[in-house]
Structure 1
Amino acid sequence: MPAAPESPVNGAFAVPAAGRTARDDACPGALRLHTADDGPLARIRIPGGILTVRQAQALADAADDLGDGNLDLTSRGNLQLRGLRAPDAATALADRLSAAGLLPSYAHERARNVVASPLGGLDGTGHADVARWVRELDALLCASPAAAGLSGRFLFALDDGRGDVAALGADVTVIAQPDRATAELRLAGTPVAHVPAADAPRWALLAAEAFLTLAAGHTARAWRLADVDPTGARVAGLLPGTNALPAPQEPHGGPAGPRLGAVPQPGGAAWALSAGVRLGRATSGAWRVLTRAAAAAGGQVRVTPWRGVVVPGVPAAEAPEVLRRLADAGFLTGEDSPWHGVTACAGRPGCAKSLADVRTDAAAAVREAADGPGLPLLPVHFSGCDRHCGRPDGARVDVTATAGDRYRVTVPGTPAATTATARDLPAAVAAARRTTPPPPRTTT
């Protein structure tokens, strides 16, 4: 086991943030807004997806006062506000986020991309308190001048051992081990070391700073770790004491988010309620129902990378009624909903590149599926163009808008796509979602 590294704040691999600015990506943030067809868009980093009730309420207020009244969930557990209207929307939003504790460092606001196991510490399944890891890593990030040079695409994953966020393709992944004393460090998906669990956040940041050292001498753009080091070996070589690695132990789970519904917490007195958000977009009114539920329970909302939310600490006797209120507000509270597993990009009119109003067409397709048999349904992603923005990883039906009011429907594991007009799309998608993909080919 390697010794604890020196504080990265002291700059073991310090790279001035200015050295990366000219080569940075155009990922939006809370301060760098993206100009969309429906107005400026802000992406607010929520490390680990963890929000206090006060912070969640502040976001609903910002959506109403500054934006279009909606909150969009991203595949990294972050939140977006669209249609920012005020001429000084960026300044007004920054002031609100700062007051709510959501913008601890202006220089690092786009570097705080951290996903964590949403049920970590709640259901008795994992091997570490990842919420503590999130807090520590966020503080280390904001205290590191070098970390301000990370692009808005660089991703940390803190997995409590169940394997959910470990499968999300992060640049730096830390996975808690069954002994609870160690954690596995993965770089670009490759296991490179076992480190002390107590120092796991510090090792994660040290790896990111080592990446910046390599990226500084790279001639091409290097936004992700794999851009300069696809196997993670070169970055690992810059870390102290990482030559020997015990046989990697795969997490016991897989790339799936929490099941929707009530999840019992240890002791049985409280439940964590897991709900999905239709097409990843919640109205401010629905969001306020969520925050009221959290205020009456554990005082926390967790946003998941699967465009869902978790409310911990709901008293067991009250859980059914709270779930009913969430369902009435439009949240998905059961695995049998035809909306479960349905995602979509922004589409028209928000995106100029989109060839269709994919959200309206997706809603029509889901209603068709609701009227027919065949649950469970394959997950499906609707895209307004071939960029497939917002598409989650993994096998799913791909519905992609093409020219002439048509869509291309591709089922995983099948060789040919079908084509449908917008009018015929509901039936085509309903049939595709009920298709059983052929088993993967094996060789002998």
Structure 2
Amino acid sequence: MLAAMPTAPVPPPAQTTAVSRDRGDACPGALRLHAANDGALARVRVPGGVLKIDQAVALGSAAHELGDGELHLTSRGNVQLRGLDGDSGGELADRLGEAGLLPSRRHERVRNIVASPLSGLDGRGYTDVRPWLRALDDLICGSETAAGLSGRFLFALDDGRGDVAGLDADVTVRAMPGGEAALRIGASGHLVLVSPQDAPAGALLAAEVFMQASRGRAWRVTEVREEAQTLTAEVIRRLPHGRAAAAPSWPMGEQPRPGVIAHPDGGTSLSLLAPLGRITAIQWAELTTAASSELRLTPWRGVVLPAVPADRLADLATAGLITEPTSPWLGVGACIGRSGCAKSQTDVRADAAASLRAGGGLPAYLSGCERRCGRPPGHHVDVVATETGGYRVSVRRDGHTGAATVIDDPSHLAAALAAARTDDTDD
């Protein structure tokens, strides 16, 4: 593996930051709890979503003994514990540290890495990204500059299938045919081609260049998007053997479908989804019992159990987890809503459950207020609660939101949601 690159100052280009933050990043973590309406909230970063079984058991115990008993999956493959007592932070930190979930307390909020969850299992992709994942996490935890990243900064490691390459990460590394890796900063049309061995260090270097060029005044690369080409050029200047290339039209793959994942050698893994990302204590216990070696949390609020026999799927379905690709829950997400959040206009989760119809289509996300916490990137149906108790439903494509349908009565939401999810017109 290539050693960490030198971090000489980057000459900041003119008007580097499109957005200059005048306050600190308040993104919650495992050590910085957030005061929510239902108690304190902790967000535990799980790089690549990979949990050893003993780590998963420790998280389940913490949720049961310190919080509301449930584990809430995020759109970055992390875990939130809710309903915590405001004085439980010290005990939670001790538990997470003993489980190996806090390798660096200074870096715990910046270990945001998503990775292709089926990598190394189903024979797809060009490489197994797990070595990249371990190396990048180690490099992040060893970088003084990276400690200053915001809790919103995101790395993505894609094995070539295109599943996490479309998640609007700040730094994306994607395996390419022929053995090379392509590094992209933000949505730039320019790539840095590197050897697979150099990919983790290149990803960290890109983050450090961003931090130095923005002087820490921006949280995401999108806030300096007009200078992404300049940042890419600086990475190439510093990265031995890195070379520039024009970004191709990357085909985007799909998230793992619920059900049995076949291995080339005849083995199987299991893919499951949690309704609205919420996993009860009983469901978590079923998952940790069924797991053979580890759990992989996905950015789509799901779980992959590697190397588990297909006959275990029935028990997980009985526990209430989504195991069928035809489930009406597929593609439906929501924020915590009322009563978990004081800003939410209504109980969006109850309305989501009451509005489900089979058929699927575009993903749909229900938000209790205009902040839209947890809303996914890409094409989706944007459903926002209004102050009058209704909803505003619109389709978001290519960064643009189409005309909205206003629903005054939540009982009419199901029809509007079904129509929007099957809308294949350009807005």
What TM-score does the superposition give when structure 2 sets the normalisation length? Answer: 0.90
After superposition, the Cα gap between the structure-2 partners of 1:423 and 1:22, relative to the gap in structure 1 and judged at 3 Å, is closer
Give 1:222's aligned residue: 218
Give 1:419's aligned residue: 407
CA displacement at 1:396 relative to structure 2? 2.2
CA displacement at 1:164 relative to structure 2? 1.1
Give 2:81's aligned residue: 81
CA displacement at 1:379 relative to structure 2? 2.2
How is 1:10-409 mapped onto 2 (pairs within 5 angstroms)?
11-12=7-8, 23-85=23-85, 87-180=86-179, 182-190=180-188, 191-216=190-215, 221-239=217-235, 240=237, 244-254=243-253, 256-268=254-266, 270-294=267-291, 297=292, 299-314=293-308, 318-319=309-310, 321-366=311-356, 369-370=357-358, 375-409=359-393
**CA–CA distance in structure 1, aligned partners of residues 285 and 101 of structure 2:** 18
**CA–CA distance in structure 1, aligned partners of residues 131 and 46 of structure 2:** 14
Q: Deviations over 1:107-150 (max 9, x none)?
A: 00011000111111111111122111110000011111111111
Q: Which amino acid aligns with 1:52?
A: K
CA displacement at 1:411 relative to structure 2? 4.1
Q: Which amino acid aligns with 1:421?
A: D
Q: Which amino acid aligns with 2:233?
A: G
CA displacement at 1:13 relative to structure 2? 5.5
CA displacement at 1:250 relative to structure 2? 4.3
**CA–CA distance in structure 1, aligned partners of residues 24 and 155 of structure 2:** 18
After superposition, the Cα gap between the structure-2 partners of 1:21 and 1:241, relative to the gap in structure 1 and judged at 3 Å, is closer
**CA–CA distance in structure 2, aligned partners of residues 251 and 229 of structure 1:** 19
**Is this contact kept in 2: 1:13–1:206, CA < 8 A?**
no
CA displacement at 1:237 relative to structure 2? 2.8
For residue 82 of structure 1, give the secondary structure of its aligned residue in structure 2: strand
Q: Deviations over 1:362-419 (max 9, x none)?
A: 11112xx25xxxx244321111012211111122222211012211222457634132
**Is this contact kept in 1: 2:156–2:165, CA < 8 A?**
yes
CA displacement at 1:328 relative to structure 2? 1.0
**Is this contact kept in 1: 2:330–2:360, CA < 8 A?**
no
Give 1:17's aligned residue: none
CA displacement at 1:251 relative to structure 2? 4.0
Q: Which amino acid aligns with 1:92?
A: E
Q: Say which is worse superposed, 128-137 or 222-231, in terms of deviation.
A: 222-231
Q: Say which is worse superposed, 395-404 or 229-238, in terms of deviation.
A: 229-238
**Is this contact kept in 2: 1:420–1:428, CA < 8 A?**
no
**Is this contact kept in 1: 2:37–2:340, CA < 8 A?**
yes
**Is this contact kept in 2: 1:412–1:437, CA < 8 A?**
no
**Is this contact kept in 1: 2:153–2:169, CA < 8 A?**
yes
**CA–CA distance in structure 1, aligned partners of residues 262 and 55 of structure 2:** 25
Q: Say which is worse superposed, 387-396 or 142-151, in terms of deviation.
A: 387-396
Aligned length: 410
CA displacement at 1:11 relative to structure 2? 4.4
**CA–CA distance in structure 2, aligned partners of residues 357 and 116 of structure 1:** 32
Identity percentage of aligned residues: 52
For residue 172 of structure 2, give the secondary structure of its aligned residue in structure 1: strand
Q: Which amino acid aligns with 1:385?
A: C
**CA–CA distance in structure 2, aligned partners of residues 431 and 234 of structure 1:** 43
CA displacement at 1:58 relative to structure 2? 0.7
Gaps of 5+ in 1: 15-19
After superposition, the Cα gap between the structure-2 partners of 1:226 and 1:400, relative to the gap in structure 1 and judged at 3 Å, is closer
Q: Which amino acid aligns with 2:409?
A: T
**Is this contact kept in 2: 1:397–1:411, CA < 8 A?**
yes
**Is this contact kept in 2: 1:71–1:80, CA < 8 A?**
yes
CA displacement at 1:430 relative to structure 2? 3.8
Q: Which amino acid aligns with 1:261?
A: G
For residue 262 of structure 1, give the secondary structure of its aligned residue in structure 2: strand
**CA–CA distance in structure 2, aligned partners of residues 63 and 416 of structure 1:** 39
Q: Deviations over 1:158-215 (max 9, x none)?
A: 11111111111111111111112x1001011223310111121011111111111112
Q: Say which is worse superposed, 324-333 or 245-254, in terms of deviation.
A: 245-254
For residue 205 of structure 1, give the secondary structure of its aligned residue in structure 2: helix
**CA–CA distance in structure 1, aligned partners of residues 46 and 3 of structure 2:** 27
**Is this contact kept in 2: 1:411–1:437, CA < 8 A?**
no
**Is this contact kept in 1: 2:21–2:218, CA < 8 A?**
no
CA displacement at 1:22 relative to structure 2? 8.2
**Is this contact kept in 2: 1:173–1:189, CA < 8 A?**
no
Give the CA RMSD over aligned residues. Answer: 2.3
Q: Which amino acid aligns with 2:405?
A: A
**Is this contact kept in 2: 1:161–1:252, CA < 8 A?**
no
**CA–CA distance in structure 2, aligned partners of residues 377 and 112 of structure 1:** 32
Q: Which amino acid aligns with 1:358?
A: V
CA displacement at 1:247 relative to structure 2? 4.7
For residue 194 of structure 2, give the secondary structure of its aligned residue in structure 1: strand
For residue 211 of structure 1, give the secondary structure of its aligned residue in structure 2: helix
**Is this contact kept in 2: 1:192–1:233, CA < 8 A?**
no
Q: Say which is worse superposed, 227-236 or 190-199, in terms of deviation.
A: 227-236
For residue 222 of structure 2, give the secondary structure of its aligned residue in structure 1: helix
